[in-house]
């Protein structure tokens, strides 16, 4: 199997979440750099980034899924009850647990 890097996560939690998402789509995923998280602050940020790697044959499918993830994450919404700003990936307000209004 030949591997290719498809994403550089902002942190280990995001990397593991995305790994799970891609694996649920039937892809084998390898993380690199996860063990370097403890060196944060001592090494440059680009060195401690956690990257996701998939089989070259699955690259296009992985990149499409990751682009959809980023588009959703960028679409902020404001809670109709408490007016708190929430990330696009949240279905309920993190502050008051009100459901996202899709209208």
Residue 17, classified by CB atoms within 10 Å of its CB into exposed (0-12), middle (13-18) or buried (19+), is: middle
Segment 6-19 shows an average pLDDT of 92
Asked whether residue 68 carries a pLDDT value surpassing 70, the answer given is yes
Q: What is the DSSP letter of 5?
A: E
Q: Is the pTM of this model over 0.95?
A: no
State what percent of residues in the chain have pLDDT above 90: 56
pLDDT at 99: 92
pLDDT tens across 78-88, in order?
999 999 988 87
What is the C-alpha to C-alpha distance for residues 44 and 36, in angstroms, rounded to an integer? 11
pLDDT tier at 36 (50, 70, 90 boundaries)?
low
């Amino acid at each position: 199997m030949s591997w290719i890097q498809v994403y550089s996560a902002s942190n280990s939690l995001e990397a593991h979440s995305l790994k799970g998402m891609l694996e649920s789509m039937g892809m084998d995923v390898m993380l690199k750099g996860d063990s370097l998280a403890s060196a944060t602050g001592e090494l440059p940020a680009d060195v401690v980034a956690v990257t996701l790697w998939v089989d070259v044959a699955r690259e296009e499918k992985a990149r499409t899924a990751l682009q959809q993830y980023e588009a959703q994450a960028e679409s902020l919404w404001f809670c109709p009850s408490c007016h708190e700003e929430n990330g696009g990936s949240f279905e309920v307000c993190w502050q008051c647990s009100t459901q996202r209004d899709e209208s």
